[in-house]
Structure 1
Amino acid sequence: MGLLQGKTAIITGASSGIGAGIANELASEGANVVLAARRTEKLNELENEIKEQGSGNVLTVQTDVTSRQDVEELVKQAETTFNHVDIFVNNAGQMLSSQVLSGKVDEWEQMIDVNIKGVLFGINSILPSMLERSSGHIINIASVSGLEVTKVSTVYSATKFAVRAISTGLEKELAKTGVRVTNISPGMVDTSLVSGSSWNNERKKLETKDIAKAVIYAVTQPDYVNVNEITVRPV
């Protein structure tokens, strides 16, 4: 029996990369997984992969995290199907042109909408039921770019600093409620998000399973233990 047998987890940005890796790992530990992203074809592929492995029950919900209504519907469908949600992983993210000198305001807006507002919409949608049950775990996927800024990461770093600030403040707000918050800051991970960006370099990258293992570590601690912050970097 897996460590998360009978638990239910929602993962945003689950269609590829870190999100898909987290979903696979949670399912392998026995959790029911709710896969959320915009690309239904990719979600369906991942659903079939998880089912073929016999890992657990799967629900896919097409979701745009920049839409509050979409995120609320995601939570509603998850709770209708699995009764309650134990883990909510705010993973969906955008890494686009981030130099202020580039003047690419449209891309900045996309990052703000996905990386900040998307996280807040997820938290706002899941918190009432978690507080009612005095149980639940919110995982926010930030970045090492939320710890330091380079000359090409200004705007992206700002959004990930915001995720860390939200995680830190929320953990304090939820003290003694039974609801836990963990912020995970990955270094460079070998995903399409990185390979398609101008930040790509020759340094060995982390694998998605490395971040997924950090999620498993956080959510399998005893109820009285809250792992607030995990930073995962390549050597």
Structure 2
Amino acid sequence: MERWQNRVAVVTGASSGIGAATVKDLLKANLIVVGLARRLERMKELKAQLPAEQQKRFHAVACDVSSQESVDTAFERIIKELGGVDILINNAGIFAGGQISTQDPVELQNVLQTNVMGVVYCTQRAFKSMKERNFDGHVVVVNSVVGHRIPMTFGNNEPPIFSIYPPSKYAITALTEVLRQEFKGLNTKIKITSVSPGLTDTEIVVDEFKGAEFPSLKSEDVSSCILFTLSTPPHMQVHEITVKPLLGE
């Protein structure tokens, strides 16, 4: 991680879970870190728990990634105050349990707007910053194993509750590959990596998937995967990391 020291990393969904764990690990690696999240107070609480030296390198910025206006405002502030974006960790995501066949379309749209368009908005701004400065940055997308295969979770004729979350992550799988090809076609050496965890113990997990019968990862496990891919040498690109609990599916 030496080449990233004092570089600027932006982490979306930084107020809890994988995002908060990634913020901590990046700060330990001596990066300047900008946390983006709707819950600014949660990020302020996180900052207060950090060592004094790390507090100086952590910038908490309120941002709703589902809103292009909010993303533009946040990135304009980052570029003005810190000079640019060198790493982007697209972590923000939401889950709304139910069934697509009966669910409120507005609820479904909210998931797609956050999980898919949020990645598009943030990646466009980060890529623009990297390319304008001719900097070989890195974009990481926190995907999911359900973005590659949808498991059967309920028997006894009970309907699944995954709803539009897996389709949103399947879109991210495709989006990551399209962006990889675009980055190359636009004559850059900017990397992009998809990290697909299995069940992870975060606030997004619904009660139906909690308990001893559902082994889960910790947020720090996923963060360690993110830092691994960032630590790879410039000539090496990790396309996909899939990580699951040892005793999980």
Give the alignment's TM-score, normalised by structure 1: 0.93
Verify: 1:203 aligned to 2:219, yes or no: no
- In 2, the alpha carbon distance for the partners of 1:149 and 1:129 equals 35
**Counterpart in the other structure of 1:99:** 99
- In 1, the alpha carbon distance for the partners of 2:3 and 2:127 equals 23
Q: Flag the structure with larger Rg.
A: 2
- In 2, the alpha carbon distance for the partners of 1:27 and 1:117 equals 27
The Cα shift of 1:165 comes to: 0.6
What amino acid sits opposite 2:183 in the alignment? Answer: L
**Counterpart in the other structure of 2:156:** none
**Counterpart in the other structure of 1:178:** 189
The Cα shift of 1:83 comes to: 1.6
The Cα shift of 1:98 comes to: 4.3
- In 2, the alpha carbon distance for the partners of 1:39 and 1:103 equals 26
The Cα shift of 1:197 comes to: 4.8
- In 1, the alpha carbon distance for the partners of 2:183 and 2:207 equals 36
Which segment drifts farther, 107-116 or 42-51?
42-51
**Are 2:97 and 2:163, in contact at CA under 8 Å, matched by a contact in 1?**
no
Q: How does 1:122-137 map to 2 (within 5 A)?
A: 122-132=122-132, 133-137=134-138
**Counterpart in the other structure of 1:218:** 229
Residue 111 of structure 1 aligns to a residue whose secondary structure is: helix
CA-atom RMSD, angstroms?
1.9
**Counterpart in the other structure of 1:169:** 178
- In 2, the alpha carbon distance for the partners of 1:200 and 1:124 equals 36
What amino acid sits opposite 2:136 in the alignment? Answer: S
- In 2, the alpha carbon distance for the partners of 1:12 and 1:98 equals 25
Specify whether residues 214 and 169 from structure 1 end up closer, same or farther in structure 2 by C-alpha distance, changes over 3 A only.
same
**Are 1:78 and 1:84, in contact at CA under 8 Å, matched by a contact in 2?**
yes
- In 2, the alpha carbon distance for the partners of 1:234 and 1:136 equals 30
The Cα shift of 1:46 comes to: 1.3
Which segment drifts farther, 81-90 or 179-188?
81-90
The Cα shift of 1:103 comes to: 2.2
**Counterpart in the other structure of 1:71:** 71
Per-residue deviation, residues 112-168 of structure 1 (Å, max 9, x unmatched): 110011111011111112112241111111111101124432411000000111101
| Unaligned runs of at least 5 residues, structure 1 | none
Per-residue deviation, residues 75-116 of structure 1 (Å, max 9, x unmatched): 222222222211111110011124223323232111111001
Residue 59 of structure 1 aligns to a residue whose secondary structure is: strand
Specify whether residues 225 and 2 from structure 1 end up closer, same or farther in structure 2 by C-alpha distance, changes over 3 A only.
closer
The Cα shift of 1:55 comes to: 6.8
Specify whether residues 232 and 181 from structure 1 end up closer, same or farther in structure 2 by C-alpha distance, changes over 3 A only.
same
- In 2, the alpha carbon distance for the partners of 1:111 and 1:170 equals 21
**Are 2:8 and 2:87, in contact at CA under 8 Å, matched by a contact in 1?**
yes
- In 1, the alpha carbon distance for the partners of 2:43 and 2:137 equals 24
Give the alignment's TM-score, normalised by structure 2: 0.88
Specify whether residues 21 and 53 from structure 1 end up closer, same or farther in structure 2 by C-alpha distance, changes over 3 A only.
farther
Q: How does 1:2-81 map to 2 (within 5 A)?
A: 4-52=4-52, 54=54, 57-81=57-81
**Are 2:19 and 2:92, in contact at CA under 8 Å, matched by a contact in 1?**
yes
**Are 1:97 and 1:108, in contact at CA under 8 Å, matched by a contact in 2?**
no
**Counterpart in the other structure of 1:159:** 168
Verify: 1:188 aligned to 2:199, yes or no: yes
**Counterpart in the other structure of 2:141:** 140
What amino acid sits opposite 1:26 in the alignment? Answer: L
